[in-house]
A = this chain, B = another copy of it.
């Protein structure tokens, strides 16, 4: 596996592959790989001849009071895992390589970026859309793979790719969970042992929601309330949102329908922010 640090080298690598007629899949990440990332990489391998994984903790998608400085990093472990997963190039640019001194351009997806995570993380999705645009231009992939845990990011990026006519396909990969059901996340490393145990309440609340959704007499509001109460039974857990939305438009659903998603975010002792989601289906 090649480690690529500069944009120029990444372009060169891509050009070589193009000349050889090889297709390329990109999986953008912020590193500190877990099974969720590895699933993205393995999926990418099935979609194209060559796999590029970008590893870049993107300052533009962090708010001023967020965890940019403390975001977990372990490059050597990440590089070993990526190589093992069959990645061809690990693109690890520096911040100054990605953002020059006079940088002032943003990509903004207005509607989908509002609400849900966007409400508590203003500017977050502008940062995501901007860095992904940059990565798309640098790597020029035929297909890009994103995880379904970041369901709003996925919706924003699909919208962006369609609106701006990016000439590539976006593929989503299902959430990978710990044995007890907790959705894998680099931020799980922030949890104390006790918090980690309690955090299973998130995925359990989704199971509860799925079960309630099977009964047509249970309203969306009742589902959302049950999920919130279930999570907030755990000391220190506060729900930021628990919403039934359409999976594409992210508009709040009046009733559980074809493409309904229960999406939730919770804060643990005001310190750690976790998200999770699941499709709901009427039986």
Contact = CB atoms under 8 A, between A and B. Distances in A.
A123 to B, nearest CB: 12
Nearest to A163: B105
Contacts of A129: 105
A104 B100 contact: no
Contacts of A111: 102, 104
Interface residues on A, range: 20 to 34
A143 to B, nearest CB: 16
Interface in A172-210: none
A100 to B, nearest CB: 7
A62 to B, nearest CB: 18
Interface in A148-173: 159-160, 162-167
Contacts of A108: 105-108
Contacts of A107: 105-108, 164
A159 B110 contact: no
Which of A140, A165, A249 has the largest number of chain B CB atoms within 10 A?
Answer: A165
A155 B162 CA distance: 26
Interface stretch (A22-30, A41-49, A130-138, A220-228): A130-138
Nearest to A114: B104
Contacts of A100: 162-163
A267 interface: no
A11 interface: yes
A7 interface: yes
Contacts of A130: 164
A238 interface: no
Contacts of A137: 164-167
Nearest to A139: B165
Nearest to A168: B137
A125 to B, nearest CB: 11
Interface string A88-122: 00000000000010111111111110000000000
> Which among A108, A112, A166 has the highest number of chain B CB atoms within 10 Å?
A108
Contacts of A106: 107-108, 110
Interface of A: 7, 11, 100, 102-112, 129-130, 133-134, 137-138, 140, 159-160, 162-167, 249
Query: Which 7 A-B residue pairings sit nearest by Cβ, starting from the closest?
Result: A105-B163, A137-B165, A104-B111, A104-B110, A105-B109, A105-B160, A106-B108
